[in-house]
Amino acid sequence: MTRRPASASAGLSVRGGSSSPPTAFARRVLDVVDRIPRGKVMTYGDVAEMLGRGSPRTVGTVLTKHGREVPWQRVVQASGRPAEPYLREALALLIAEGCPVQGERVALATARWDGT
């Protein structure tokens, strides 16, 4: 059995550096991220779970390709740490929004948004 890349299996056409518009799935990811309130975060897995489709990796792929269209800094790893290589920029933006940060991690216990 040949395994397809995560982006292909989720219906994303975002690899390869093209300037293609977001797919329907990517647009749904971006819509969720755009709704995260200032000072709050979701993990990549939280976003995928909210959509009922995809995985943390596919959410990350969408944000890599189209993240500048939304408050991308509000999506963090399950550890609470923003992804590289934008760690410093993300932390600065989150702190400016009033998000609780401890070292290089968001305090998920208080900052995690459940989507309601």
Element (H, E) at 42: strand 42-43
Mean pLDDT over 41-53 rounds to: 97
> Which of the 8 DSSP states describes residue 105?
E
What is the percent of the chain with per-residue pLDDT over 90, rounded to a whole number? 81
Residue 64, number of CB atoms within 10 A of its CB = 13
Q: Are strands 101-102 and 105-106 parallel, antiparallel or unpaired?
A: antiparallel
Burial class (CB in 10 A: 0-12, 13-18, 19+), 105: middle
Confidence label for 20 from pLDDT (cuts 50, 70 and 90): confident
pTM across the whole model: 0.84
Domains of the chain: 22-111 (1.10.10.10)
Give the model confidence (pLDDT) of 48-67 as tens digits: 999 999 999 999 999 999 99
